[in-house]
Amino acid sequence: MAAKEVRVQYPQFTTIRVDLVFDGEVPQPPAPQSIVLHPPARAYFVYPCPYAGCTGELDLAANVDHIAEQGKARAAGHARCNGERHGRQGKGPCDLHIEYSIAVGK
Ligand SMILES: [Zn+2]
């Protein structure tokens, strides 16, 4: 099912900004990411793990819904990548630590 546009799904928001910071017990964590969605964009909040070859995805759709339902301006939390990727010891759980924050403009 294709995601609806932001202006349809969340007409009360003028922008939705998602910041992802990757960290953990790795010497060189992936670069942080910032995504800003405007009303014509698709309200799609699934982000692939930044590691090439990892099967993990971070799905923040429920978090954005929660902000909308609660009338909040922002939310933050953290998660671990649920994917698998190839490492030095072969395929194993990715377990990348992901800090996310979501801020909406009204
Ligand atoms: Zn991963």
Ligand 1 centre to CA of 27 (Å) is: 15
Q: What whole-number distance in Å separates Cα of residue 80 and Cα of residue 77?
A: 11
**How remote is the CA of residue 81 from the centroid of ligand 1, in Å?**
5
Residues near 35 by Cβ (< 8 Å), separated by ≥ 6? 17, 18, 19, 20, 47
How far apart (Å, rounded) are the C-alpha atoms in residues 94 and 51? 9
CA of 6 to the centre of ligand 1 (A): 27
Q: Write the pLDDT tens digit of every residue in 81-99.
A: 999 998 777 889 999 999 9
**What is the pairing mode between strands 57-59 and 46-48?**
antiparallel
Q: For residue range 3-36, what is the model confidence (pLDDT) as tens digits?
A: 899 999 999 999 999 999 998 677 789 999 999 9
